[in-house]
């Protein structure tokens, strides 16, 4: 038996219960064929094998982001970054972009968060079209909020979309209006499509090119796989890259609700595809987000008791879609953030579970559960697709909007204790692509500056490093039906690995943020490699 790649001298955490820690590994034909000591690995090396001395670096199974938006991320690399500490800085960046965009051309951006602009706008006050009109009078502007559940546009964009005081709120959405009934420039949830439908789409070739850059950055961050929640154009671009041999990580692709009938008509089932690109679950939305206070709640927000958020898709539509999808062999992945949204989704899954017990359904985000619902994901076999970084990013607004209910928010440890499968991710570009940032958040419940203190925010929800890594490895593998091929480094499984310069299992957890990715291996091939290795 000879290997194509021989790794020696490492601290390799295999996540194989029979052999949890080794120093060497041999890869042949994209799979692990040997895990053990250095001497045994060298004996397996063939004449043409590459032998790499890991120099004591830490190796873990390849990290997978179980929830991100590849098209949005790829496109965000070329848009205006308006995740700024002040409103004025965001406006300045938009104004700067108009200097080289042709007059009348769209200026697009992402990342604004009015919750941090309170001193300029007033608490819980949203920006308006008038703000943007000052810096971009001759360009339509559309800026997506950090949560991706609202857009902020200027007057030119409102005009391009034909949005006036007479335009009704679409189903599952809201046009924010002033006291006279005029649109202010903020569109929530389903109303965002009024603007997005008039923004020119990129060509397939343009999107594929943007994705190439995004994949490189993902590999540099240590990712060997991702679950993509974007739409059909993203799937087409991913197929182009797959056909050209340019996929450098494994992609599990969700199916949008509006493509469900076509998918069923084609006979697609969750898991169809290969090790590089395969069909995941059907993506649906039950509610909005915490930031714009559109998450669907059982009782109102602390700052606005009459507001219980938005049900973005009628419950009867969700119920029919889940039943139809599960019957056709397609799992579902439903965005649910508020406690009312999570409860409604769990009720739907409970109805389908007896008929389709083998289907792997998911809830995306699971940010707030009523205490009575805390154990239901495990009971129903529903995967908890959660993003640890949301806890530390949102902690202040969660305390403001949800008050004492935040004790049950972003409850990673609670779900694990009940026996639910955790599939962890980033929700990029809502949050940073870097999985080490997510691991740090899961383990410490603290921000990079150490806040809110040594114990973290609701420290009872902290995970161990092993639990967190498992959430970024075995959890996503299970969610995609690939746990027999991914999620651990053992003979017969695919050789996907993330190499780190520090042993994240033994260092101070705060130092996880300062850990470097030294190499990323997918199928036994380096797709990213630091100069030192």
Question: Is the pLDDT assigned to residue 233 strictly greater than 80?
Answer: yes
Helix axes 315-327, 339-352, angle to 10 degrees: 40
pLDDT tens digits, one per residue of 10-23: 999 999 999 999 99
pLDDT confidence of 2, banded at 50, 70, 90? low
By CB atoms closer than 10 A (0-12, 13-18, 19+), residue 298 is: middle
Please give the full DSSP string across 143-200, using - where no structure is assigned. EEETTSSEEEE-HHHHHHHT--TTPPPPTTEEEEE-TTS-EEEEEEETTHHHHHTTSP
Read off the pLDDT of each residue in 447-459 and give the average, rounded to a whole number. Answer: 97
Residue 1 confidence class, pLDDT cut points 50, 70, 90: very low
Mean pLDDT of 448-454: 97
* pLDDT tens digit sequence for 281-340: 999 999 999 999 999 999 999 999 999 999 999 999 999 999 999 999 999 999 999 999
Q: What's the chain's average pLDDT?
A: 95
Residue 458 has pLDDT above 80, yes or no: yes
Q: Cβ neighbours of residue 143 under 8 Å, at least 6 residues apart?
A: 80, 82, 90, 94, 108, 109, 110, 112, 132, 151, 152, 153
The Cα–Cα gap between 280 and 266 comes to 15
pLDDT of residue 121: 76
Q: Is the pLDDT of residue 147 over 90?
A: no
- Of the candidates 291, 341, 337, 290, which has an alpha carbon nearest to the alpha carbon of residue 311? 341
pLDDT band of 46, cuts 50, 70, 90:
confident
Least confident of 97-111, 204-218, 232-246, 348-362: 97-111
Dump pLDDT digits (tens) for 487-499. 999 999 999 999 9
Domains of the chain: 3-62+497-502+513-529 (2.30.40.10), 71-196 (3.10.310.70)
Residue 500: which pLDDT band, with cuts at 50, 70 and 90?
very high
Closest CA to 512 of 453, 460, 475, 466: 466
Lowest mean pLDDT among 56-65, 122-131, 343-352, 460-469: 122-131
pLDDT, one tens digit per residue, over 331-367 is 999 999 999 999 999 999 999 999 999 999 999 999 9
């Amino acid at each position: 038996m000879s290997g194509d790649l021989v790794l020696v001298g490492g601290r390799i955490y295999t996540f194989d219960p029979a052999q949890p820690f080794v120093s060497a590994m041999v890869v042949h034909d994209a799979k692990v064929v040997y895990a053990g000591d250095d001497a045994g690995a060298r004996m397996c090396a063939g004449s043409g094998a590459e032998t790499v001395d890991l120099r004591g670096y830490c190796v873990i199974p390849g990290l997978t982001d179980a929830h991100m938006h590849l098209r949005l991320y790829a496109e965000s690399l070329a848009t205006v970054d308006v995740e700024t500490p002040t409103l004025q800085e965001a406006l300045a960046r938009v104004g700067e972009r108009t200097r080289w965009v042709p007059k009348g051309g769209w200026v697009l951006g992402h990342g604004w968060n009015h919750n941090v602009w309170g001193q300029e706008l007033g608490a819980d006050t949203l920006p308006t079209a008038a703000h943007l009109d000052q810096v971009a009078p001759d360009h339509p502007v559309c800026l997506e909020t950090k949560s991706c559940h609202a857009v902020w546009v200027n007057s030119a964009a409102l005009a391009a979309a034909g949005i006036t005081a007479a335009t009704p709120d679409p189903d599952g959405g809201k046009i924010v209006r002033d006291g006279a009934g005029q649109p202010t420039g903020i569109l929530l949830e389903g109303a965002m499509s009024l603007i997005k439908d008039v923004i020119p789409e990129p060509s397939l070739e343009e999107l594929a090119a943007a994705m190439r850059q995004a994949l490189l950055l993902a590999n540099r961050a240590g990712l060997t796989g991702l679950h993509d929640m974007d739409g059909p154009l993203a799937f087409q671009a991913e197929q182009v890259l797959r056909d050209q041999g340019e996929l450098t990580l494994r992609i599990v692709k969700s199916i949008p609700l509006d493509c469900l009938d076509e998918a069923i008509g084609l006979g697609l089932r969750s898991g169809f595809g290969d090790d590089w690109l395969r069909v995941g679950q059907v993506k649906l939305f039950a509610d909005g987000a915490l930031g714009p206070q559109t998450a669907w709640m059982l009782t109102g927000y602390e700052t606005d008791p009459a507001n219980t958020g938005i049900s973005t898709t009628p419950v009867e539509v969700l119920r029919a879609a889940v039943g139809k999808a599960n019957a056709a062999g397609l799992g579902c992945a439903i965005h649910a953030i508020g406690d009312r949204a999570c409860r409604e989704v769990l009720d739907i899954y409970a109805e389908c579970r007896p008929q389709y017990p083998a289907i792997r359904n998911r809830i995306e985000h699971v940010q707030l559960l009523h205490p009575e619902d805390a154990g239901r994901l495990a009971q129903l076999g529903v995967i908890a697709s959660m993003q640890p970084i949301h806890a530390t990013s949102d902690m202040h607004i969660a305390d403001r909007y949800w008050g004492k209910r935040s004790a049950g928010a972003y409850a990673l440890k609670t779900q694990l204790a009940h026996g639910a499968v955790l599939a962890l991710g980033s929700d990029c570009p809502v949050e940073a692509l870097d999985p080490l940032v997510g691991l740090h958040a899961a383990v410490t419940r603290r921000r990079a500056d150490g806040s809110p203190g040594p114990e973290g925010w609701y420290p009872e929800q902290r995970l161990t490093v092993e639990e967190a890594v498992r959430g970024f490895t075995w959890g996503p593998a299970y969610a995609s039906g690939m746990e027999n091929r991914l999620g651990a480094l053992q003979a017969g499984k695919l050789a996907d690995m993330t190499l780190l310069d520090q042993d994240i299992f033994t260092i101070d957890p705060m130092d996880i943020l300062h850990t470097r990715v030294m190499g990323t291996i997918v199928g036994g091939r380096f797709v990213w490699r630091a100069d030192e290795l």
